[in-house]
Amino acid sequence: MPDATPRTFGDLEPSRWPGERLGLPDSGPGSVGRVGRRIGAIAIDWVVALLIALLFAPYSSLLHSWLTLAVFAIMQVVFIPTIGGSVGHRLTGMRVVPLTGGWVGLWRPLVRTLLLIVVVPALVWDSDQRGFHDKVAGTVLIRS
Global pTM value = 0.85
Percent of the chain with pLDDT over 90: 69
pLDDT mean over 31-57:
96
Instruction: Indicate whether 14 pLDDT > 80.
Output: no
Residues 6+ apart with CB under 8 A from 128: 15, 18, 19, 20, 21, 22, 24, 32, 140
